Amino acid sequence: MPETAIPAQAPEQSAQTQYDVIVVGAGFAGMYALHKLRGMGFKVRVYEAGSGVGGTWYWNRYPGARCDGESMFYSYSFDDALQQEWTWSERYAAQPEILAYANHVADRFDLRRDIAFDTRVKSMTFEEPDRIWRVETDTGERIKARYCIMATGCLSVPNEPSFPGQDTFRGATYHTGRWPHEPVDFTGQRVAVIGTGSSGIQSIPVIARQASRLTVFQRTANYSVPAWNGPLEPDTVRAMKAIYPELRDKQRATLTGNMFESAGPSAMAVSKEERARAFEACWQRGGLGFMAVYGDVQRNDQSNQAAAEFIRGKVRQLVEDPVKAEILAPKGTFGCKRLCVDTDYYATYNRANVDLVDITDTPIDCITPDGVSVGGKVCEVDAIVFATGFDAMTGALLRIDITNATNGASLREIWADGPVTYLGLQVAGLPNLFTITGPGSPSVLTNMIPTIEQHVEWIADCLDDMREKGLDLIAPTQEAQSAWVEHVAETADHTLRGTCNSWYLGANVPGKPRVFMPYIGGMIAYRETCAQVAADGYTGFERT
Ligand code: NA7
């Protein structure tokens, strides 16, 4: 089948349009899915709610927004010419640079002609007799497709808290995940930041430098390690590019798609002094690698506590006011919530214009016209920044009305008690629907771009194989799905990850079922399983 250019169509003209594949979302997953499948001769159309490509990096424009994966490895590897021609300027790229990269990819591979921007998919209905998904958008477009690929992102729906009185606030409000496109200048303003996850921890030091007064409302102290971000030296980049394909192979063979250095299998197998040296060396290297400082920090309580205590010690050294330091010193299991990577976060609390309010035991009671009220005391501010996170992993999928008209199954019902999938790729009862980095896949526990590439390539191979064999319906069996769901849960139970209220568990969104959503078995095991399933003739899937 030749590659087909699809002109932009008015809704009424497109009523009968049928595609081989509809992709929802034009972030890194959707862009690669389009490029890959179009190149294989499939007729593909992408729908994107934003006005541009980039997904997460299109929406998260808050001050200080930066990737905490290293740029040289948080980028596509599928095309060597692309990785050779693009040059990252810093160890950790800032949001504008990542967005520029996404736009460069879109231009380079001429992706935009097959993307409908400013268009949100509202509903998707599968009609089994015709083996067709009927898709409806908020612009009134109605389209048909054999397959749908959900590239809707894991952190794309903001968790918008609804504090009593929120609407009465007279000043400006912002959510980090929906930051305005125009620059926001806090100079001379009194600003409140609510939330101290990655978004809060990245934005607080930047806002503190602008605002006349910054008040941070912290419900849980998070573990944060320094990024030690800085420019990438041209010689380093040249040397890495000279062996980029080799480095990418190494990256794919890691547990998480990150090139972390580990000091050994167990923190408890070495002396206290040796452990302290290893922790310090890891702190000095900076970044998420602290999660892998010893192989057992996520599984062994004592090892975990040793890592936790080391970081608490650092917080006490870095924060001059002992009262603030105690509030900021994280208390729970290290790495249970996502580890944060910062630039000057703890030192920011040494500034005279920065206050910290501990809302662990006394939560925010309301927002008044003048500010944020805690325990009846109002902190008057001109602007409030909600850094309150996302309805992660399932949020974007459940906001679309996804149903199978033939068997009456709907995603909302199937996932009522938490997400169930086979390999994080498909859901039983909803044929021909694929999720990229869906729940039940390593996704958010890994470097997202190599993970996305693996998913897209697996799906592309599967569709190609079906086309060759004259098949056009694929869904997992209930048995295969149940066994996978059980495996995902069991694997999580062997770690300390279920011991806190993290967004991995859905615990940050009131009423969300508490299920550990990503697969924690690691990227290598997961890749091997997916490859084996395909090699064995797509075991666990029914294809007709
Ligand atoms: P996170 O990590 O979910 O952090 C959200 C923060 O907001 C966290 O400190 C929450 O406290 C706090 N929060 C949420 N709701 C409230 C209410 N109602 N009151 C007070 N505080 C609240 O989101 P981020 O955007 O920072 O990061 C998401 C991911 O993006 C990150 O993990 C990286 O993968 C990149 P809590 O901890 O729940 O007590």
Q: What domains are defined for the chain?
A: 17-53+111-157+392-543 (3.50.50.60), 166-386 (no CATH)
> 161 CB under 6 A from ligand 1?
yes
Render pLDDT for 470-506 as a digit per residue (tens, 0 to 9).
Answer: 999 999 999 999 999 999 999 999 999 988 999 999 9
For residue 91, which of 106, 78, 74, 108 has the smallest C-alpha distance?
A: 74
Average pLDDT over residues 63-92: 97
CA-to-CA distance for 445 and 456, rounded, in angstroms?
Answer: 18
62: amino acid identity, one letter: Y
Residue 9 has pLDDT above 60, yes or no: no
Q: Hey, whose CA ends up nearest to atom 31 of ligand 1?
A: 198
- For residue 515, report the phi and psi dihedrals to the nearest 5 degrees: -140, 135
Neighbours of 392 (CB within 10 A): 27
Mean pLDDT across the chain: 96
Residue 8 has pLDDT above 70, yes or no: no
Do the beta carbons of residue 327 and residue 221 sit within 8 Å?
yes
Residue 164 sits at the vertex; the CA angle it makes with 417 and 178, to the nearest 5 degrees, is 70
> 366 CB under 6 A from ligand 1?
no
Do the beta carbons of residue 197 and residue 223 sit within 8 Å?
no
> 394 CB under 6 A from ligand 1?
no
Give 140 Cα–ligand 1 centroid separation in angstroms: 35
CA-to-CA distance for 441 and 453, rounded, in angstroms?
Answer: 13
Render pLDDT for 182-238 as a digit per residue (tens, 0 to 9).
Answer: 999 999 999 999 999 999 999 999 999 999 999 999 999 999 999 999 999 999 999
Average pLDDT over residues 424-447: 97
What pLDDT score does 498 carry?
87
> 200 CB under 6 A from ligand 1?
yes
Render pLDDT for 504-532 as a digit per residue (tens, 0 to 9).
Answer: 999 999 999 999 999 999 999 999 999 99
User: Across 188-346, where does the E strand assignment appear?
Assistant: 190-194, 213-218, 224-226, 340-342
Residue with tokens 């105690």, as numbered in its chain: 326
138: its two tokens: 């908020």
Q: Hey, whose CA ends up nearest to atom 36 of ligand 1?
A: 220
CA-to-CA distance for 488 and 510, rounded, in angstroms?
Answer: 23
CA-to-CA distance for 506 and 153, rounded, in angstroms?
Answer: 15
Give 178 Cα–ligand 1 centroid separation in angstroms: 14
Spacing of C-alpha 89 from chain mean position: 23
Sign, CA torsion 454/455/460/465: positive
- For residue 8, report the phi and psi dihedrals to the nearest 5 degrees: -60, 135
Render pLDDT for 13-47 as a digit per residue (tens, 0 to 9).
Answer: 445 689 999 999 999 999 999 999 999 999 999 99
Average pLDDT over residues 158-184: 97
> 476 CB under 6 A from ligand 1?
no
> 229 CB under 6 A from ligand 1?
no
Strand partners, 223: none
Q: Hey, whose CA ends up nearest to atom 23 of ligand 1?
A: 389
Band (5; pLDDT cuts 50, 70, 90): very low
Strand partners, 448: none
CA-to-CA distance for 215 and 223, rounded, in angstroms?
Answer: 19
> 388 CB under 6 A from ligand 1?
yes
374: its two tokens: 């805690």
What pLDDT score does 16 carry?
61
Give 330 Cα–ligand 1 centroid separation in angstroms: 14
203: its two tokens: 């934005």
Residue with tokens 């501990």, as numbered in its chain: 358
Residue 4 has pLDDT above 50, yes or no: no
Render pLDDT for 345-361 as a digit per residue (tens, 0 to 9).
Answer: 999 999 999 999 999 99
Give 106 Cα–ligand 1 centroid separation in angstroms: 31
Q: Hey, whose CA ends up nearest to atom 34 of ligand 1?
A: 338
> 463 CB under 6 A from ligand 1?
no
